[in-house]
Every structure is written in C-alpha cells, then in structure tokens.
Amino acid sequence: MISSSINENDIEVELEELNQLSQAILTKYGYDFTNYAQSSFKRRIIMVLKKNSIKSVGLLIQKIVQDPKFFEQFVTDITVNTTELFRDPSFFRVVREELLPILSNRPEFNIWHAACSTGEEVISMAILLKEEGLWEKAKIYATDINTAVLKKAAEARYPLRNWELFKQNYSNTNPKGKLEDYCEIKDNEIQFDKDLIKNVRFKQHDLAVDQHFFKFDFILCRNVMIYFNQKLQNRVFELLHNSLFLGGYLALGAKESLIWCKIADKFAAFNENEKIYKKIKL
Amino acid sequence: MANEKKMWEIIVIGGSAGSFSVVSKILEKVPRNLSVPIVLCLHRLKDKREGFKEALEIKSNIPVREPCDKDKIEKGVAYLAPSNYHLLIESKEIFALSTTELVQYSRPSIDVLFESAADTYKGGVLGLLLSGANRDGALGMSRIKSKGGFTIVQDPKDASMPTMPAAAIETTTIDLVLDTSNLVSFFANIEKNLFIHAAS
Ligand SMILES: C[S@@+](CC[C@H](N)C(=O)[O-])C[C@H]1O[C@@H](n2cnc3c(N)ncnc32)[C@H](O)[C@@H]1O
C-alpha cells in the first residue's frame, strides 16, 4: 500500500517510497542515498515535493530519471549545506592550541576536509595555519558530493549578512590577527584572499560510494554523518580510518559520536569535548 | 497490570518563552522509575547555549541528557534537544540530529521533533505543548493527533505566553487543556495515567 496525499502542510511519504526513490537514483546516476537517515531524508524529500509542487514520490522519480538538470538541483536541495566560518569556535581553538603544535613536529602534513560544503571550514583552517606559521607545510584536500558547493568554495566569497557571526566566531578562537586581514568587503559580499586556498585541491568525492584516495594526518568530517544511518556511518568510519596514517587525527561534528561504531576501539579520544580522535590501531 | 498495553510509549514536550519553570516542575515530580522516555524541545536564546541542561537537572527526578546523533532512546530519561540542532526520532531505538534550516524560526523546532515522533510511534505518542510566543508545535500536535496519539496543552490563560498553546488549539483537536498545577499532578501520576487512558 503506497499512498501519498498532497495537503499544504501535511504531505505523507512512506518509507517504501523513499527506498524506491533512492533505488531509482542509484540505478540512473550512481548516487547512493539508500542509507541516509530516514527521519531527516524524508523531511528533505517532502521539502522538494512542496518546492516543486510535485504531488507524489512516484512523479518525483519520473522527473528525476528524465531530467538530469533537475536531478542536479535535487542533489543541492536534499544535501544540507549549512556551515559557518569557525563553526564551533571552541573546536578551532583546540585545534590551534593543542593539535597544530603536534602536527607542526611533522615535516609536512596532509589535511582532508571531507564534506566541506561551501568551504567556510576550509578558509577557517587556512587562517589558523597561516597564523600558526604552518600554512606552507600543509597539503589540503577539500571534497563534497555536491559540485555546486565545491564551485562556491573555490570562489571563497560569502554574503555580507554573515559578517557579524563570522567575526564573533573568529574572535573566540584566540586569534592572532583581525578577520579583515584576510578578506575584502565589496558589493555586499565578503571576498576572502584566494591565496589562502591556493594550496587546496577541491574535488568531488562521495563518502557513500567512493574509496579512499590519499593518506592524511588530519581529517575533518563534521556534520555530515548525522545525515547517514548507522550502516553507512560504519562504512564511512572505515573509509576515514583507512585514509588516516597511524597517529593521525579525526574530527567530528559537535554532536557526532564514535562510541557505538564498529571500529571505535581503533581510535582514542584526543579531546572528547571537541570530538577529536586519534587513530591508534591499524 | 504488567500485561496490559501501555497507552503511550514516548512523551514529547515542547515549550518556548515562559515554559522553563513548568518543565522544571514536571521533571521534579515525574517518578524515578518512569517507564517511558521524555523528549524535550525547548527554544532557547542563541547565546544561552550552555547551562540549560544543568539548570533542568538540578531539580529533575530523572537524568537529563542532551543526545548525540544516533544515541539510544532509553526509558526513564529526559532528553533535551541540543541547541542549534533539530532533534528527530529516527526509529524506536535511536535519535537523529540535523542542521537543516530553521522551522517556524526555530532550531531545534518542536514541529520537527513531534512530527518525527508521530511518524515513528504512531498512536504511542503523548504530546505536551507549553507556553510560547510563536506557533511552533501546532503542526506537530496535529500530526500526533492524526496518527492517533494524545495531545495536551498548557491552558493559554495559565501560560505566561499564550500564543503557542492557543495556536495548537486552533489547529487540531486537543485532548486535555491543563493549568500548571494540574499538569504537574498529571505527570506525577503518569505511570497510572499511562494505563487509565489505555482502558478508557
Ligand atoms: C552540513 S554540511 C557540513 C559542512 C562542514 N563540514 C561543517 O561542519 O560546517 C554537510 C555537507 O555534506 C555533504 N554531503 C552529503 N552527503 C555526502 C556524501 N555522501 N559524500 C560527501 N559529502 C556529502 C553535503 O553536500 C554538505 O555540503
């Protein structure tokens, strides 16, 4: 029994319909949403239905399969791109004061921003590296499933309405400069100095299907795994584990946890409060 | 009585401005051996992120926790939606978090929590909506009702901000409208109520 009624405030979507949708997408485009967390995935799908005035998941599947342009927009709509410069300032402060001093002992080091969205996290890290005198030593990859956000990330330009938030976050990281030192404000936008990210390689990478591609000293994978179910989280933890050198560090989002996952015992907490873990076993 | 089916498997509570003291009184009176989980979504100011859980914990008779993503849902615990995240019920076993856009100008949003609870537990949800100055929670209550759950609001006349409970009354069928002291005694006797309402 598959039913979906359209009613402005109350569209019903059954789990089975979500599965059919994910299967159709996987077959046609190779993106695998089958193991996204159903509670939030369902809300996103309902949002897409409303936005496009599509009456049922069946019709949405048709539209997606027939229209690659529409599918591109669909990916942007259902992947959640919210991010901030220095999101969770206390995390960046710990990176600055506790983690970077350790990495600075290595002749050079590799950093991966997995699921970097529009790049605010990448800029934040670059600013820390500059201020701690480590920028030259770092080789950086920044990846996301969504090519549209990667394009934005490479432009390093953000709406001016974020300015107060960005400044406040930065000021809570124990900064060594002023945010103005790294950007210019014009035409209602904040343009960061592109030199900051000239050593960053942006590339599309899908945590749900792609393999590891390099070895890292530090991986940031924040606020993306909340959108995955436990099966997919386990896959991703394994991928991240494989992508880290022994003694490498993994950072998760403020409310993400590694405790219950299958390979938890291969990590030790470096800073539990800020969700930074160290790979201690192969 | 042990064989009887319980009326509700989960209690969800939403509140905004003016709800803190009511929630605090309820938690003070719920029995220590509460046989269902309580999940709270309370709006708070962005710059008052810290200390909220601790403030509730002081008087609470049961543990208060801010869940991490995919944490287990356990009976006898009050879970508080963390600031700046939506809290969702992923399954009867676990929570999920999300940082999608604000809903009803709020994150966490009461609608998001209530709707996901109703979708997962169907008729097994007891929803309570307290004082608040916006309309968050009304649609969530409506979803709880349409899935066969039970709805209670704080009496708008008793609430320091009546908008939120009044919006729910306008939007859907409310099973009980109670003032603070009756709310507190309802939750003090919640274990009995879980069965009384099942019988009726
Ligand atoms: C909420 S943002 C997190 C941005 C940043 N890491 C932060 O914490 O502020 C989540 C990002 O995950 C990306 N994403 C979702 N599914 C993905 C997948 N399977 N593989 C890679 N990235 C994914 C989305 O496109 C989105 O940009």
Domain CATH code at residue B60: 3.40.50.180
Q: Is residue B19 part of a domain?
A: yes
| CB-based contacts of B80, cutoff 8 Å, min separation 6 | B40, B42, B52, B53, B56, B64, B65, B66
3-class DSSP string for chain B = CCCCCCCCCEEEEEECCCCHHHHHHHHHHCCCCCCCCEEEEECCCCCCCCCHHHHHHHHCCCCEECCCCCCECCCCCEEECCCCCEEEECCCCEEEEECCCCECCECCCHHHHHHHHHHHHHHHEEEEECCCCCCCCHHHHHHHHHCCCEEEEECCCCCCCCHHHHHHHHHCCCCEEECHHHHHHHHHCHHHHHHHHHHC
Q: Is residue B67 part of a domain?
A: yes
Whose CA is closest to A275, among B171, B106, B82?
Answer: B82
Tell the residue nearest (CA) to atom 24 of ligand 1.
A79
CA A265 to chain centre: 24
Alpha carbon distance B24, B42 (integer Å)? 12
DSSP H helical ranges for chain A: 15-29, 38-51, 57-66, 68-78, 89-94, 100-103, 120-131, 147-155, 163-171, 230-243
Query: Cα distance from A257 to chain B (closest Cα, Å)?
Result: 6
| Res B195: pLDDT | 82
Residue B89 forms beta bridges with which residues? B95
DSSP label of A95:
I
Whose CA is closest to A82, among A47, A117, A114?
Answer: A117
Q: Taking residues A57-61, report their average pLDDT.
A: 97
Mean per-residue pLDDT of chain A: 94
Complex confidence, ipTM: 0.91
For A255, the closest of B68, B112, B120 (CB atoms) is B68
| Chain B residues within an 8 Å CB radius of A82 | 99-101
| Res B197: pLDDT | 61
* Predicted confidence (pLDDT) per residue in B39-57, tens digit: 999 998 655 557 889 999 9
Q: Taking residues A190-218, report their average pLDDT.
A: 97
Residue in A closest to B119 by C-alpha: A39
Range of the domain at B129: 10-193
* Predicted confidence (pLDDT) per residue in A4-52, tens digit: 333 445 678 999 999 999 999 999 999 999 999 999 999 999 999 999 9
Domains and CATH numbers, chain A: 8-78 (no CATH), 89-279 (3.40.50.150)
Domain total in chain B: 1
Distance A174 CA to ligand 1 centre (A): 27
A223 has a chain B CB within 8 A of its CB: yes
Alpha carbon distance B165, A61 (integer Å)? 39
Q: Taking residues A225-250, report their average pLDDT.
A: 97
A37 has a chain B CB within 8 A of its CB: yes
Query: Cα distance from B82 to chain A (closest Cα, Å)?
Result: 8
Q: Is residue B198 part of a domain?
A: no
| Res A6: pLDDT | 39
For B69, the closest of A10, A80, A257 (CB atoms) is A257
| Res A10: pLDDT | 63
DSSP label of A224:
S
**What is the pTM (predicted TM-score) of this model?**
0.93
Q: What are the mean pLDDT values of chain B's consecutive 10-residue runs (200 residues total)?
A: 74 96 97 97 72 91 97 97 96 96 93 97 97 97 97 98 98 97 97 74
Alpha carbon distance A235, A262 (integer Å)? 9
| Res B46: pLDDT | 56
Alpha carbon distance A231, A235 (integer Å)? 7
Q: Are A43 and B100 in contact (CB < 8 Å)?
A: yes
| Res B80: pLDDT | 97
